[in-house]
Amino acid sequence: MPKHSQHRRRGKYALDADDIDWLENTPEADDGPPEGDRWSTWDQSTPLEKGPRPYPDWLVTDLAAVDTEHGVLKTGKEADVHLISRGVPGTDRVCLLAAKRYRSFEHRLFHRDSGYLEGRRTRDDRTNRAMAGRTAFGRQAIAAQWAVAEFEALCRLRGLGMPVPYPVQIVGTEILQEFIGTPDGYAAPRLAQVTDDLDDLWEQLVDAMVTLAREGLAHGDLSPYNLLVHQDRLVIIDLPQIVDVIAHPSGPSYLDRDARNVATWFAAKGVTAADPDALAVLLRRESRIPV
């Protein structure tokens, strides 16, 4: 038995020179997980950086769990989404997660950030100036704001019963969330790829958009490409640009654009109830914006 183990039996802090030498000369690989790519990051997030309680039964929160990478699910201008399995080695406790990682500022293209970030100021004037000037530090702060905004939106909408993935946790600019797909890792199709049950999916979408509008919110970039269909259920994804339609000076225009984008698509697919103008009027009324 290593000497450090003997000392730990005598007392929690019983370390001597031999223990310190053993720790300093132990290869870093010994601290890595027995399998997988990294230890679970669950304990790296504070309670406010974790999803709403109660945690779902399927979620693995054991500190002995490890995360294993399984490839990229989706690439985008601002972030990439990776498939991860989080499991406890030697057991059948495992869950699939989607890890959305906002890119470092050198490789990111926030082509619309000035419009969406209007009004999202921090309490630190230096950070606000850096963000406005798009310095290296400012762009990194912008990335953090996008990640935080999306995580907070997921938590809020989940609490409203909205059809969004469960937000597991946020660590820096990485958001871990529920994987929407099959147990063997096949992602649910986007709405743009679906041709069946469109009338029912349209009704689901209108209900979700009305719930958002009543909260004074708009998705901000809604389209058939950030809506998933899983087991006949519509799921809304990609929420970093969610807009407060009352506080944001261009809020109503984002609301109208969301309505136009999705209703036009459904109408082109033969859904007779889909009317861009009628949906825009409905959403403005529900959000108490003058029509």
- Residues annotated as catalytic are 221, 238
Through-space distance between the first and last CA atoms of the chain, rounded to whole angstroms: 76
Q: How many other C-beta atoms lie within 10 A of the C-beta of residue 64?
A: 15
Sign of CA dihedral 28, 34, 38, 44: negative
The tokens describing 94, both together, are 């495992």
Two tokens at 150? 């999306």
CB-based contacts of 14, cutoff 8 Å, min separation 6: 7, 8
145's CB contacts (< 8 A; 6+ apart) are 117, 120, 122, 131
Whether the Cβ atoms of residue 223 and residue 265 lie closer than 8 Å to each other: yes
The Cβ of residue 63 has, within 10 Å, a number of other Cβ atoms equal to: 9
Nearest Cα to 49, choosing from 150, 147, 171?
171
